[in-house]
Amino acid sequence: MSIDRRQFLKIAGISSLLGIGATAASATHNVWIKGIEPPQVEPGKEALTAEHWAMVVDMSKFKTEEDIKKAVSACHTTHNVPDFGNIKDEIKWIWKEKYESAFPDQENPYMEEKIKEMPFIVLCNHCENPACVRVCPTQATFKRKQDGIVMMDMHRCIGCRFCMAACPYGARSFNYRDPRPFIKNENKEYPTRTKGVVEKCTFCTERLAVGKIPACVEAAPKGGLIFGDLADRNSEIRKIVETRYTIRRKAELGTGPSVYYLIGGNEHA
Residues forming contacts to another protein in the complex (CB under 8 A) are 10-11, 14-15, 18-20, 87-92, 97, 100-102, 104-105, 131, 134-140, 156-162, 164-170, 172-178, 194-198, 250, 253-255
Extended beta strands in 147-210, E state? 150-152, 173-174, 198-199
Which of residues 110 and 234 has its CB atom nearest to another protein in the complex? 110
**CB nearer to another protein: pick between 20 and 269:** 20
Say if residues 56 and 226 touch (Cβ distance below 8 Å): yes
- The count of other CB atoms within 10 Å of the CB of residue 24 is 21
Contact 166, 132 (CB under 8 A): yes
Angle subtended at Cα 266 by Cα 261 and Cα 54, rounded to the nearest 5 degrees: 25
Report the chain's C-alpha Rg in angstroms.
Answer: 19
CA pair distance 38, 26, nearest whole angstrom = 10
Q: How far is the CB of 189 from another protein (least distance, A)?
A: 25
In the bound complex, what is the minimum distance in angstroms from residue 102's beta carbon to another protein?
A: 7
Residue 202 beta carbon to another protein: minimum distance, rounded to whole angstroms: 17
Closest distance of CB 181 from another protein, Å? 12
Smallest distance from another protein to CB 182, Å: 11
Instruction: Name which of 12 and 204 has its Cβ closer to another protein.
Output: 12
CA distance 69 to 95: 8
Nearer to another protein (CB atom), residue 180 or residue 212:
180
- Our CB check for another protein shows the closer of 221 and 256 to be 256
